[in-house]
Copies of this chain bind each other. A is one copy, B any other.
Amino acid sequence: MYTVGIDLGATFVKMGLVDDKGKVCFRRKIETPSSLNKAFLIDAIINNIRDIIKVSGKKVSGVGIGVPGPVDSKKGIVHYFPNIKGWKEVPLKSILKKKLSLDLELDNDVNAITLGEFVFGAGKYCDNLVCITLGTGVGGGIIIDGKLYRGGSMAAGEIGHMPINEIGPKCNCGGIACLERYIGNRYILERAKNAFGGNITLETLTSLAKSGNKKAVAIWTDVAEKLAVALVGIVNLLNPDKIIIGGGVSKAGSLILNPLKRQIKARAMKDQAKHVKIVLAKLSADAGIIGASLLTHS
């Protein structure tokens, strides 16, 4: 059985035909410059879905779409995209259904990635897990009793907006001392620039730390320790089997993972800390396509 998975992002739309083992074939990629209007983008998506189906010659059972913003996944409505203009309360599911006679589901991209890791990645065989994506934003998805948990108004999973202090800097979301306000990649980069000068990238910061630079190691350790405060709360509250760390920033790998594990062991309750496994995500660049392809089964 094959499904089309679509990872709608602010820079690219990545699409692929995914088989029932999570293997991606017949990829397509559409650029999404900020000038691209909504109707044009939707048409391009429809044409590419048709093209993938035609070229592959496979029987396709459905289409899943992960999108970069809050949605009503039951009704198939995009509420808005923080980083793409012109999308407000768009009934994307019904628009696409009119043109394609296929089963079709959408959800936010982090939920899709979480589903991907749960079925084919680092979360296999775990009924209760939390998946975190570290990048510009800090996102989260939750699997409870083997099912994606979406919350009372489909807005669950905002790990990046758990406060890690009573008092602290104001966050874009309106909150105070949110995790993302400390470890969203722009804030890590800000600290790196203060330490190493203006041209540094996060990749360089990671290289420096890996080669033993103490200032660089200290920045990653502090990122991990701040992440740990929120995760200790999650470990004690939800007692998950696994926490999966993904997203671009997670490329720092053991620089984050090791101090994170140390902090969970030191600060979380004994039983819960012993039970939980903290691991890196497995699906990497294809996570969005693979996860989205699973939405029609979830």
Contacts and interface: CB of A to CB of B under 8 A. Distances in A.
A161 B225 contact: no
A217 to B, nearest CB: 19
A158 B236 contact: yes
Contact of A272 (B145, B147, B153): B153
A231 to B, nearest CB: 10
Given A166-B164, A175-B268, A237 B152 contact: no
A156 interface: yes
Contacts of A162: 232-233, 236-237
A234 interface: yes
Interface in A112-152: 126-128, 140, 142, 144-145, 147, 149-152
B240 A161 contact: no
B237 A159 contact: yes
Chain B CB within 10 Å — which of A155, A230, A271 has the most?
A: A155
Contacts of A153: 239, 271-272, 275
A102 interface: no
A157 B272 CA distance: 11
A128 B151 contact: yes
B232 A155 contact: no
Chain B CB within 10 Å — which of A150, A166, A233 has the most?
A: A233
A166 B269 contact: no
A12 B174 CA distance: 46
Given A229-B163, A230-B233, A239 B151 contact: yes
Contacts of A259: none
Q: How many copies does the complex hold?
A: 2
A155 B275 contact: yes
A150 to B, nearest CB: 8
A28 interface: no
B240 A151 contact: yes
A95 to B, nearest CB: 23
B157 A128 contact: no
Interface string A211-231: 000000000000001100110
A241 interface: yes
A152 to B, nearest CB: 4
B161 A163 contact: no
A154 interface: yes
Contact of A175 (B142, B149, B159, B267): B267
A240 B230 CA distance: 18
A281 B232 CA distance: 27
A285 interface: no
A1 interface: no
17 contacts: A144-B145, A145-B149, A149-B238, A152-B275, A152-B276, A155-B239, A156-B238, A157-B239, A158-B237, A158-B269, A159-B236, A162-B236, A163-B229, A166-B225, A166-B229, A174-B270, A234-B237
